[in-house]
Amino acid sequence: MVAVARIEDPSCFWVTMKGCEPYIVDEIEYKNLNAEMNQFYDKSCENVDEVKPVTLEKGQICVVFSEELKCWCRAVIKSIMYCAGHYQTECFLVDYAKYTIVKTKDVRVAMKAFMQIPYRAKKCRLHCTKPVTLRINFCEDTAKIVPAQRWDNAATQYFQSLLKATTQIKAKLCAVEDNTFDVILYVTIKDEKVCINDELVSKNFARFVETEEDTGSLAKDQENQTSLNVESFPVKIIDPTLAFRPVLFEEKVPMNLETGHSVSSSSPEKTYQRSSTDLNEGTKSIVKVFPGLPCKEKSAVPTDRFLQFLNSDPLKTPKIDDNQWELTREKFLGPTFTESYCWPPVARGCDVVAISHQGNDPFLYIPPVLTFLQLGSCYKALPNRNGPLALILCPGWKKAQLVFELLKTYGRCSRQLHPMLIILGQNKEEAKRMKIQGCDVIVTTPYSFLRLYEHNCLLFCRLCHLVFDEIEVLFSEATEQVFTILDCYKKTVITEELEYLPHQIIAVGTHWNKHIARLIKEFMNDPYVVITAMEEASIYGNVHQVVQHCVSSERTAILLKMLDFTPNHLQKVLVFTDSVDEVEMVHQALKSNSIFALKIHKEKEFNFTYVLEHWTKSYASGNHVVLVLTDDCVQFLGITDASCVIHFSFPSSSRIFGQRLYNMSDNFHNVIEESSVDQEHTKARSVVLLTENNTCRALGILRYLKRAKAEIPLELHDFTARVLEAEEEKKFARPLCTYLKAFGICKNRTVCPDRHQINLQIDMLQNMPDKMTQTSGRVTILPLHIVNATNYFGRIVDKQQDQYTTLAEEINEYFKEPSNKIPIKKAEKLALYGLCDETLFHRVQVVETPPKKENLFFNVKIKYIDEGRTRQVQSSQLLHLPARFQHLPPQAVEFIVCRVKPVDNEIEWNPKVTHYIHHKIKGKPHEAKIVLTLGNTVWIDPMVRVTRLSDLKMYVNEYSVRSEILSTGLGTDNPEHVTQLQKLGVLNHMNDLEPSFYPEIKWFQNEVTVTVKVKIAGIADYKCDFSKEKVIFSACSGDKLYLADMELHQYILTEKSSCVIKDKEAAIILTKEKKGPWCKLLKNKNPHVSFDFEHWEDFEDKGPFPVGTKKLHCTSAVTEDLVESSDDSSVESDE
């Protein structure tokens, strides 16, 4: 058993020991020693000179009187200093592990008799446990954990917190070296035993070093790494990207009490701090553009650095140990590159705008805002009313839910803020009932907040922090609402009683938006604008974007034409290529046309001094300075004063595109600052040469150019339209977009992975119950699986004779017999099996199997084919399903309720609506009218629950599902839903659910081709899809839809097949893959298909059959076709 007396770090702490080991002295002996020393030195006061040392030096053992302990103590002199006319010594009390300062005249000689027993406080260190730190190399853009020479403050704090929280400490002695005990510490925290050595290693505060040799080699490695990094960081750093880097590495440098020297940090990083005075000086906004690091943002600075940053701020954070524990528990690695720039001004209460590729991450603002909110003293002058201190506005309920969960997680270890998530619909009564008493933080959407504000006019009376999450989405979806909230906030904060309270607006996002400039000018005070996405910085900087559409072979000529003029001012031009050959080719072309040009690439010796010397030289107005280079040279040049960037080769990514644009950052125009100076001559220009080789990136560049307000060439619009069409063709095998089906529109069509056009092979009527096409569209449906408020899976119920009900009874009766429950040996994809779900047995289909089946019991994804839901089950749960139970087609149908959508431009239903509808309709039969059908999807309007009143012998409508959704206030009318679906092409003739007709088809052949004639009069619209063994023909005539799905008897050449429309028929010419006669057209007989005997004679005359078996064989086939046709002539369509 041990008791900790003093802690400096995990490699230097003192303990007192209890036990019966040979090196442990009983506590009674120390008490006796203390009594004898007090008696001796108290008596010796009369003859001080006898016990007073002649000389004093550092490290000398002595005895001093401790005013704190009121007794004489053994001590070691640590330092000697001159103060106020006399000398003082700093002494370490070896039995108590305490430091004390005494005058030199009060130091006494340590008598030999009092030095016989060991010191009571034993100096210890954790056995084989050495410190580590995070090493960030800005030149290489890397961050990694490396051995360190000293412990981080956060590691020491964590070590102290573990020892403080313990109820019992035990130490295992492993070695003794230089009077220092190497120990393994075990502590008991809440009845759980923890090894501190292991704990520090697991939290990445330490590493294990097994032997002293390893320690030496690692120390040597540390020295090597330090020396290399010091060379990379000269004292004078010119790079403007580091000018306002926050103090993330600021640490208190402790005094090494063993040596008397201060201990320097093992980290060679240079840090920069902007004083609090500087932060509040001037009236101009601080705008800084920072290029993003190529490394992943999620590994910039460790958690302890974040905590030190919070502590280094003048605004101290209470309960930081608890926050550290929470962050560590959540495996938070530390602030990202963008967060390291945003957190300091946010934590100081400054207005901040942050635009970054990670701008949709709430962690850009949550930690520093929580830090500021802990300062209760800042809000004492606020009126004593109900109202939030902070308001966080999110673009939708889903994002608001995420932010709210993060606030609950990271706010529970701090002052109670009682955050509230408020999502209100158009139901005014709900807004009236909403109470916000005691709430300090509200998370909501602009629409919901204004609905609440209508009934609570005091919401702004205490509001100090206004946060906009994903500001570009808020401005695009709710511009009016956002500015209404800003106006109300501005009117409130200018009142005299709130003048000296903190007022802060934070806006974060991924894209620059034109409204952000107004936000900064009209509503912010000296804001920080941090932009780490360079392509967005160029929009902020008003870079003139030009797109030149050309063929690849014309690029050089266009480049020469662009440079063939005399500018009014000096033009510094960068020409970016993607290969060494292109650099040489472009440079030679410029040189041949008498244009002064520099070049640099990876295969040419990097002579940066020469290039920069010519680039930075003074030139007269009217000259060009052109540098041709590759992207891998940019970071070494550090150019920021280019006036034009020409993308001779298209950038491979947005990061590379932004990196190129950053070379013009000195010429970015500050759109926030009002200036009467004509800056046209300094306006930066970016020229993109778009060729046929860059088709895959055309969509992205067009979206970017629209946001940059660039002039878009007409040919680029046409080019992009073709690319968009090609992109859609690539998605042709994908499922139809769920948003398109549910709401009639997909907002993110260009990035949506799913299909937005009809594919008859997938979307044609398949496995649709006959009763659905035999009715006028009015059916009884049974919703069994609720996806969301308007999307369900279930069955269409036949009231007279429901085949599925009979089948389900037979299946459950069959599996009641234990001998019939036969587990399958191997799960095959798409195969049908039986599965017991609670007490009932269901038909299921395997839709997904794991790629590697490492053991017998693996999970597979199955679908209940008669209900529509999916789940994961073990393969061992699947049972063999007899063939007689597999004949009935899957009964699950997808139902979508029409003409209703979420409020506030949301694209997903709020869970509250889905939960309400789920409990109201699941498992209950409803009457519905089918409006549209496509494949296995049915659009219904209305969908009504009908109840029979047995006493009155009548039926009443209990509720309409659409009306129930609207009554929640979270749904609104969507009148264009069906119209938008009809625009897809195939559905526009199915408003009244006219069933599709199979047209009359006649066919004949020759040796090379097969001609199929589809008899349809007045074809208005048609589509014919060819595949190797199938032809799908669809057409509209009048108010009827005709569909012919023909699975061919033999293969065809799709590229040589065609379809021609004539007056009353369509002629489909199929080119045979192998020459020769076909015995029949289709694999399976069809009553609507027959051989065309009008061409029989032609076939007989021109055919390859002279006489004999081949001709007889063909004749028999034709006869068979004729018999099939005549047998089923009664069901042929007359259309």
Please tell me the distance from the alpha carbon of residue 544 to that of residue 560, in angstroms, as a whole number: 20
User: What pLDDT is attached to residue 993?
Assistant: 38
Quote the radius of gyration of the chain (alpha carbons, Å).
40
> Would you report the helix, strand and coil content of the chain in percent, each value rounded to 5?
35, 25, 40
Q: Are 458 and 387 in contact (CB under 8 A)?
A: yes
User: What pLDDT is attached to residue 1019?
Assistant: 80
Band of residue 920 on the pLDDT scale cut at 50, 70, 90 = very high
Beta strands 180-189 and 122-126 are parallel
Please tell me the distance from the alpha carbon of residue 1016 to that of residue 1019, in angstroms, as a whole number: 6
CB atoms closer than 10 angstroms to residue 435? 9
> Three-state SS for 1112?
helix
Judged against a pLDDT cut of 90, whether residue 936 lies above it is answered with no
Can you read off the two tokens belonging to residue 299? 């590994």
Please tell me the distance from the alpha carbon of residue 365 to that of residue 506, in angstroms, as a whole number: 8
pLDDT tens by residue, 55-97: 888 888 999 988 888 888 999 998 888 776 778 888 999 999 9
Find how far residue 1016's CA is from the centre of its chain: 53
User: What pLDDT is attached to residue 902?
Assistant: 95
Can you read off the two tokens belonging to residue 1102? 């021109």
Q: Are 374 and 319 in contact (CB under 8 A)?
A: yes
Give the list of residues 6+ apart from residue 108 with CB closer than 8 angstroms, or none.
Answer: 41, 44, 51, 52, 53, 62, 63, 64, 72
Range in 86-100, 154-168, 298-312, 512-526 the model is least confident about: 298-312
User: What pLDDT is attached to residue 467?
Assistant: 96
> Three-state SS for 697?
helix
pLDDT tens by residue, 285-312: 445 554 443 333 433 333 333 333 333 3
Q: What does the DSSP assignment read for 69-80? A: TTEEEEEEEEEE
User: What pLDDT is attached to residue 758?
Assistant: 82
The pLDDT mean for the chain works out to: 78
- 353 by Cβ neighbours in 10 Å (0-12 / 13-18 / 19+) ranks as buried
> Three-state SS for 1118?
helix
User: What pLDDT is attached to residue 277?
Assistant: 29
pLDDT tens by residue, 210-269: 755 444 443 444 333 332 222 222 222 222 222 222 332 233 323 332 323 332 223 223
User: What pLDDT is attached to residue 853?
Assistant: 57
Range in 73-77, 273-277, 482-486 the model is least confident about: 273-277
pLDDT tens by residue, 724-740: 788 888 888 888 999 99
pLDDT tens by residue, 1060-1104: 887 778 899 999 999 989 988 998 888 889 888 877 654 444 443
Judged against a pLDDT cut of 50, whether residue 48 lies above it is answered with yes
User: What pLDDT is attached to residue 401?
Assistant: 94
Buried b (16+ CB within 10 A) or exposed e, 102-131: bebeebbbbeeebeeeebbbbbbbbbbbbb
Please tell me the distance from the alpha carbon of residue 523 to that of residue 489, in angstroms, as a whole number: 9
Judged against a pLDDT cut of 70, whether residue 650 lies above it is answered with yes
User: What pLDDT is attached to residue 1106?
Assistant: 38
Please tell me the distance from the alpha carbon of residue 503 to that of residue 969, in angstroms, as a whole number: 34
User: What pLDDT is attached to residue 606?
Assistant: 60
Can you read off the two tokens belonging to residue 133? 């730190």
Which has the higher per-residue pLDDT, 873 or 778? 873
pLDDT tens by residue, 331-390: 667 788 888 889 989 988 899 999 999 899 999 999 899 888 887 777 877 877 778 999
Calculate mean pLDDT across residues 929-945.
88
pTM: 0.63
